[in-house]
Amino acid sequence: MRASSLAFRAAVLLVLVGMGWGIFMAASQDHATAPAHAHLNLLGWVSLFLFGIFYRLHPALETSRTAAVQLWVWILGTVGLTVAVGLIHTGRTAGEPVAAVSSLVLFADMLLFAVLVFRNGRAAPATSAVPAE
């Protein structure tokens, strides 16, 4: 699967969970886990979708193993941090070491993405659907 397709598919799956979570919070009038919901949506929807756009703009990375690793680590780190933040905000200290590890994993993964951005700065030339005159 191309990197951008993986990113887009994972992003929509995660935001469906995040939105369902938001609806449940609103309906139950219990907003205790709002920070976890926010992390899931911002890391899992916004960031992943932005990664997908970057990979779509850089076709050379679409089949790159490094890009695939970067995305899978991000997906797993997002799930880990979301669960951990949810545990912490419902009074379960067991979430603290999970939050510590997953936040460092996500930070390292963003460094990896930064390397890909700096090494692949130039996007593929835009193609136009309008025939040249």
- Residues in contact with ligand HEM by CB under 6 A are 15, 18-19, 22-23, 25-26, 31, 34-35, 37-38, 41-42, 45-46
Shortest separation between residue 44's beta carbon and ligand HEM, angstroms: 9
Q: Which residue minimizes CB distance to ligand HEM? A: 22
Nearer to ligand HEM, 21 or 55 (CB): 21
Closest residue by Cα to residue 79 from 103, 97, 96 = 103
Answer yes or no: are the C-beta atoms of 31 and 23 closer than 8 Å. Answer: no
Shortest separation between residue 64's beta carbon and ligand HEM, angstroms: 27
- Residue where the block lists tokens 């996007």: 123
Answer yes or no: are the C-beta atoms of 10 and 48 closer than 8 Å. Answer: yes
